[in-house]
Amino acid sequence: MATKILLLLVFFAITITVGLLFRKRSNSVSGFVLGGRSVGPWLTAFAYGTSYFSAVVFVGYAGQFGWKFGVSALWIGLGNALVGCLLAWVILARRTRVLTHHLGSATMPDFFGRRYNSRSLKIGASVVTFVFLVPYTASLFNGLSRLFETAFRVDFVYCIIGMAVLTAIYVIAGGYTATAVNDFIQGIIMLAGIIAVIAAVLAQNGGFSGSVTALANVPGSAPGVFASFFGPDPLSLLGVVLLTSVGTWGLPQMVQKFYSIKSERNIKTGTVISTIFAVVISGGCYFLGGFGRLFADRIGTNELGNPAAGFDSVIPGMVAGFSDLLVGVVIVLVFAASISTLSSLVMASASTLTLDFLKGNFVKKMDDRRSLLTIRALVGVFIVISAAIAVVQAKSTVTFIAQLMGVSWGALAGAFLAPFLYGLYWKRVTKAAVWVNFIFASALMLLNIFAKSLFPAILQSPINAGAFTMLFGLILVPAVSMLTKRPDKKLTDDCFACFGVPVSVSKADSLGKGEINV
C-alpha cells in the first residue's frame, strides 16, 4: 500500500508543479487555449496521443473488445495508429494549422462560423460540443473506479475527487502549455507501464506462444476462434475500428491540437512520434485485453460467459495478482491516461462555451482578460459537473447517462468530421450541408438511445451507429452541397487564399524548383 501511495504522490507533485511553472505563459486567451500557436512536435504529438487514449480505452474498450474479439482486437489498435494518427496528421495537420491561423480561429465551432460565414453555425456547433462532450468527459472518471477499489479498497468517489482537484489545479494555472508538458510526462509513464503490464500478463501463461495456445483452447468457444486473425465477429470488429480510428478526425479536443503546431518540420516529426506512440499504447492495450479470457477464473463470469461484474472488471481482474509495485505502475498509468484526456476535454468545452457561445451573443463586451477568466472558471465548472455525473451514474441505476456516454463519440465525430474535412479542402461546401449534417448526426445518435428498436440489428450498437453516422456524413455533405446554392465566391477565395501564399524553405526540406537534376 505504501508503494502505491508513494507513486501517486510523486505523480501528483510533478503534475501540479508543471501547472504552476507555466502559469505565466497562459496570461492571454491565445496562450491559455493554444499555447501561443508555438508548441513543439514532441509536446504536440504526445498531447494528441494522450488525449486519444484514456482509461476508457485501457480499462473499458480494451477489456470489452479484447474479451469479445480475442487477439484480433489488435486490429483496433493498429487502426488507431495508422488511421487515427498517421493519416490524421498527414491529411489534417498542415491545412488545419494554416487555415485556422488565417481565419483567426481558436476552436472548432469558431472554425465553422468563420469558414462558412455563419454565426448560427458557430452557435450550433458549440451546443453540439457541450451536449455530447460533457457526458464523454464524465466517462473518464468511471474507468478508474475498479482499479482504485482493487488497489486501495476505498470508495472510488475519493478517486474522482482527487482526479478532479488535480486536473483543475494544473489546467486552470498553466493552460494548454502546462497540459501539453504534463501530457508528455504522462505519455512516458503510459509507454513504460503498458510494456511492463503486457510482459507480466504473457509471463503468467507461458509467454506469447503459450498465451495464444491457451486462448485458442478457451472452454465454451469454437476452437481457435479467439486466437484467429479476424476473431469471431469481423463485421463488428470493423465498426469498432472505424469509429475509434476515423472518429478522431472530427473530435474537437483532438483536432484543436493541430491549431498550435509551430512549423512544417514539427508536423513531420509529430506525425512519426504520434504514430509510434499509438502503436505502442493502443496496440498494447487491445493486445493485452485480447488475453482477458485466460483470467476468467479470477474475473468471474455469468451464465452468458461474460464478466460477472461487467467488462470494466476485465483489466483490473487481470492485474489484480501482480506485485504491489506493478499494480502501482498500472494505477499511475491509468490515472495519467485519464487526466490527460480529461484536461483536453474540459479545455475544449470551456473555450468553446466562452468564445463561441457566450462572447458576442450573451455577453456583448468580453475583452481578452474577461474571456480568460471565464474560460478558467468554466474549466472548474465542467470538471465539477463531469465528476458529479460520474458519481450519479455509478451510485444509481440511471442507465440514460451511461447510454449518453456511449453515443457521445459517435455524435461528435458524425456531426463534425465531414464538414471539417471538406471545409479544409473543398470550396463548394455550403452552410446548408453543414447544418443538415449536424442535425442528422445528433438526431440519429439520440434516437439510438431513446428508440433503439427502430434501428436494424447491426446499428443498435452505439459503436456501429456512430461509424455509420460518420461514413454517411461523407456522402451527405457533398450531396447537399451540390443541391444547394453555391457559397459566395469572394468568401471562399479569401478563405483559401492562405494556401497560395509562397513561403521559403531550407534545402533540408526541399531541393527547390529547377534543382532536381543538379
Task: Establish if 243 belongs to a structural domain.
Answer: yes
pLDDT top residue among 256 and 139? 256
The arithmetic mean of pLDDT across residues 62-69, rounded, is 90
pLDDT of 474 strictly over 90: yes
pLDDT top residue among 221 and 98? 98
Q: Convert the pLDDT of each residue in 303-336 to its tens digit.
A: 878 888 778 788 888 887 777 788 778 888 887 8
CA–CA distances in Å: residue 506 to residues 155, 167, 305, 501, 503: 57, 41, 61, 17, 10
Task: Establish if 466 belongs to a structural domain.
Answer: no
Are 284 and 194 spatial neighbours (Cβ–Cβ below 8 Å)?
Answer: yes
Can you tell me the distance from the alpha carbon of 158 to that of 305, in angstroms, rounded to the nearest whole number?
32
Task: Establish if 409 belongs to a structural domain.
Answer: no
Q: What CATH number is associated with residue 330?
A: 1.20.1730.10
Residue 514 has a pLDDT of: 47
Q: Where are the beta strands (DSSP E) in 406-486?
A: none
Are 271 and 90 spatial neighbours (Cβ–Cβ below 8 Å)?
Answer: yes
Task: Establish if 410 belongs to a structural domain.
Answer: no
pLDDT of 443 strictly over 90: yes
Task: Establish if 464 belongs to a structural domain.
Answer: no
What's the structural domain count of the chain? 1
pLDDT of 515 strictly over 60: no
What residue type is 108 in one-letter code?
A: M
pLDDT of 72 strictly over 80: yes
Q: Which three cell numbers stand for residue 355?
A: 468564445
Instruction: Give the residue from 184, 167, 163, 189 showing the smallest Cα distance to 19.
Output: 167
Q: What percent of the chain has pLDDT over 70?
A: 92
Q: Convert the pLDDT of each residue in 136-166 to its tens digit.
A: 777 777 666 666 666 667 777 877 888 888 8
What global pTM score does this model have?
Answer: 0.86
Task: Establish if 512 belongs to a structural domain.
Answer: no
Domain that holds residue 372: 2-396
Residue 486 has a pLDDT of: 94
Task: Establish if 478 belongs to a structural domain.
Answer: no
